[in-house]
Amino acid sequence: MVESQVRTPPANVTRNYVNFKTGNVFLATELARREPAIISVALNPGAASTNLFRHTPMTKYLAWPLLHSARLAALTELYAGLSGDITSEKNGCYVVPWGRIADSGGGLRKDLVDATKLVEDGGTGQAAKLWDWCTEMTKEFQ
């Protein structure tokens, strides 16, 4: 976790997006670890043609042959929220397009998988650090 990028988001839109998606994975897996009675998953809805590219029109122009419909991307979100496959045994999993559970970190780089594990479990503990930082930043509102 690069704390300076959490406190002051980078001006680069792509870097901001990557930070947001990484934080999503970190917080979902950390919630699953800390509150096992609450099923929490992170997901990748897939590359969809949405207004996500509104600030980077050239990227959309170059990527359009690879983009899918927003309807197809919604299938991943519906699967993550409603599928009977998402059980307490799968708590903290990563759901990938178009509604599949990635096996043992599949779909995530090894350094991100390691970041979701505590140091005592062979990881780097970055997800726990982000959770603690978020808790500290929001404690006056709790």
> What are the boundaries of each domain within the chain?
3-130
Q: Where are the beta strands (DSSP E) in the chain?
A: 42-43, 94-96, 100-101
CB 96 within 8 A of CB 44: yes
Q: For residue 106, what pLDDT is reported?
A: 65
Helix (H, G, I), strand (E, B) or coil at 56: coil
Rounded Cα distance between 12 and 9, Å, is 8
pLDDT in tens, 4-42: 666 777 788 788 888 889 999 999 999 999 999 999 999
pLDDT in tens, 56-90: 778 778 888 888 998 999 999 999 999 999 999 99
pLDDT in tens, 81-139: 999 999 999 999 999 999 999 876 567 889 999 999 999 999 999 999 999 999 999 99
Burial call 39-55: b when 16+ CB within 10 Å, e when fewer: bbbbbbbbebbeeebee
Q: For residue 5, what pLDDT is reported?
A: 63
Number of H helices, E strands in the chain: 6, 3
Q: For residue 141, what pLDDT is reported?
A: 95
Mean pLDDT, the chain, rounded, equals 89
